[in-house]
Amino acid sequence: MLHASSLASATASEREDFVAELDGDEAVALPYLWEFWARPEQLLPPGDWVYWLPLGGRGFGKTRTGAEAVRRWVKTNAYVNIIGATMDDMRDAMIEGESGLLAVCPPHERPRYVAARNCLEWPNGARSLLLSAEAPERLRGKQHMKLWCDELAAWRYPEAFDQAVLGLRLGRQPQAVVTTTPRPTKIMRELLANPLTVTTRGSTYDNIANLAPGFVKKIIRKYEGSRLGRQELDAELLLDTPGALWTRALIEAAYLGREEAPQLTRIVVAIDPPATSGDNADECGVIVAGLSEDGCPCILADLASQGETPLGWATRAVEAARKFGADAIVAEVNNGGDMVETIIRQIDANIRVKAVRASRGKYARAEPVAALYEQGRVKHVGVFAKLEDQMCLMTPDFDRRAAGLSPDRVDALVWAVTELCLSAPDGTAIIDFYRRLTKPANN
């Protein structure tokens, strides 16, 4: 069978001849002929496997790969269920997205999306439950013949995958396709090492012909060659960064399931505002953290955003404070001065705002917080993939351009933990604390 790659390398005349030879029905069917368009690593692999892990960089075509697997499976399986990182992610990408299920199916195969019941009803009678990884307890008792799990490495609650796998028990050959950009989390390492897993790999560059020129110019060129680019573009599973303050093992040791979350005596929202706004601005770090009864800081949410106006990120912070019952918003004011507090008070005049000013560098401010992680005192109530990626890049020679990002999420985390248990967040007391912590005991 002729493949799209052959057509792409053909002359204009050869492409015209190919199209001219198609009759009306063939021309209508061609956009939905996945075997024609797919690259080999995007097609369901042969063999007696349970998990298929098509690892790919951003724009590789992972969503299309997962959607096409579901489209094929529902022809012979009555229960092919779908799990997304969140319900919004599922709806926007896996179902209604440009490469989602509604788009890849021809009209006569297209399912009916029943949003009220969170399911897809297929023309042949098959049914797909739409499930969220943010509600692991809702996965208990759900049974699957086939399963599509998307962005597993970013699931906030790893126990959701355990619940999903326990339900993979119907039919002659239960299987799951797991589409994700790789991050070296415990669950990813275990899945890759599982003898029942088949892995295929691809990079952003494999699909570059189908990506917008702006994406290639602004995103790929910005990140290629960097460590983040190797992960997000080349789909490499990177291990720890030498010299970084945090390691993956250190963060994994901090994970708590929701059922293990302790009672909290204080909750704060910390903000690291960007100096500018717009699409090219740094992110605004927004971290929600609480203090347990035994004095351990607990990271509750990472609500960072990019491209918002000051009013936008301030509104996000105030809403988080109300949702979590925070007693204060801690905001760095180096870049905004009194403006930061003024904007927050425009939204809520009664909320307590504590302005902090950095007098030390980012790495120096983060050192004592990392020391608390080493002591096992800081806990993460869930997985915060982007925050944790930044944490594992914090080295003494952290270079913003080489890393491809500014550690705004980490800055916000540092301010939150400092406020909760290190006090005096002007930078000086933090360094004094760290020096006392590392000073050899007197004989």
DSSP 83-148: EESSHHHIIIIIISSTTSHHHHS-TTTPPEEEGGGTEEE-TTS-EEEEEETT-GGGGTT--BSEEE
Asked whether 145 and 78 are in contact (CB, 8 A), the reply is: yes
* Domain ranges for the chain: 38-232, 248-438
Mean pLDDT of the region 188-200 = 91
Mean pLDDT of the region 22-36 = 78
Lowest mean pLDDT, pick from 135-144, 235-244, 314-323, 329-338: 235-244
Q: How far apart are CA 184 and CA 188, in angstroms?
A: 6
How confident is the model over 211-253, as pLDDT tens digits? 666 665 655 666 655 556 666 666 666 667 778 899 988 998 8
Mean pLDDT of the region 325-353 = 86
Q: Note the pLDDT of residue 386.
A: 86
* Residue whose C-alpha is closest to residue 332's, from 362, 374, 295: 362
Cα within 13 Å of Cα(187), Cβ side: 21
Q: Note the pLDDT of residue 401.
A: 37
How confident is the model over 375-394, as pLDDT tens digits? 999 999 988 988 988 898 88
How confident is the model over 288-297, as pLDDT tens digits? 999 999 899 9
Strand partners, 200: 54
DSSP single-letter state for residue 239: -
Which one is predicted more confidently, 346 or 204? 346
Lowest mean pLDDT, pick from 114-118, 276-280, 365-369: 276-280
For the cut 90, the answer to whether the pLDDT of residue 416 exceeds it is: yes
Q: Note the pLDDT of residue 261.
A: 79
Mean pLDDT of the region 340-354 = 89
Asked whether 96 and 86 are in contact (CB, 8 A), the reply is: no
38-232 CATH: 3.40.50.300
DSSP single-letter state for residue 293: T
* Residue whose C-alpha is closest to residue 268's, from 430, 434, 425, 386: 425
* Residue whose C-alpha is closest to residue 407's, from 260, 278, 302, 312: 302
- Residues whose CB falls within 8 Å of the CB of residue 216, separated by 6 or more in sequence, listed in order: 208
Q: Note the pLDDT of residue 307.
A: 78
Mean pLDDT of the region 129-157 = 92
Lowest mean pLDDT, pick from 136-145, 190-199, 212-221: 212-221
Helices H, strands E: what count in the chain? 20, 15
Q: How far apart are CA 407 and CA 175, in angstroms?
A: 38
Q: Please report the DSSP string for 169-220 in residue order.
A: --SSS-EEEEEB-----HHHHHHHH-TTEEEEEE-GGGGGGGS-HHHIIIII
Mean pLDDT of the region 186-207 = 84
Mean pLDDT of the region 408-427 = 82
Binned at pLDDT 50, 70 and 90, residue 315 comes out as: very high
Lowest mean pLDDT, pick from 5-19, 197-211, 288-302, 327-341: 5-19
Which one is predicted more confidently, 277 or 62? 62
pTM of the model: 0.67
Q: Distances from the Cα of 217 to the Cαs of 140, 208, 248, 283, 347, in angstroms?
A: 45, 11, 31, 20, 38
Asked whether 362 and 333 are in contact (CB, 8 A), the reply is: no
Matching residue, tokens 């015209």:
16
Asked whether 44 and 52 are in contact (CB, 8 A), the reply is: yes
Binned at pLDDT 50, 70 and 90, residue 443 comes out as: very low
Mean pLDDT of the region 49-78 = 90
Q: How far apart are CA 81 and CA 138, in angstroms?
A: 13
Q: Distances from the Cα of 287 to the Cαs of 154, 268, 291, 387, in angstroms?
A: 17, 8, 13, 9
CATH topology assigned to domain 248-438: Nucleotidyltransferase; domain 5 (3.30.420)
Helix axes 310-324, 338-347, angle to 10 degrees: 60
Which one is predicted more confidently, 43 or 231? 43
How confident is the model over 86-137, as pLDDT tens digits? 999 999 999 999 999 999 999 999 999 999 999 999 999 999 999 999 989 8
C-alpha 45 chain-centroid distance? 26
Q: How far apart are CA 76 and CA 210, in angstroms?
A: 31
Q: Which is it for strands 119-121 and 127-132: parallel, antiparallel or unpaired?
A: antiparallel
Q: How far apart are CA 262 and CA 408, in angstroms?
A: 27
Percent of the chain with pLDDT over 90: 46
Mean pLDDT of the region 38-43 = 87
Strand partners, 52: 177, 198
3 state SS of 200: strand
Q: Note the pLDDT of residue 426.
A: 44
Q: Note the pLDDT of residue 391.
A: 92
Q: Note the pLDDT of residue 425.
A: 42
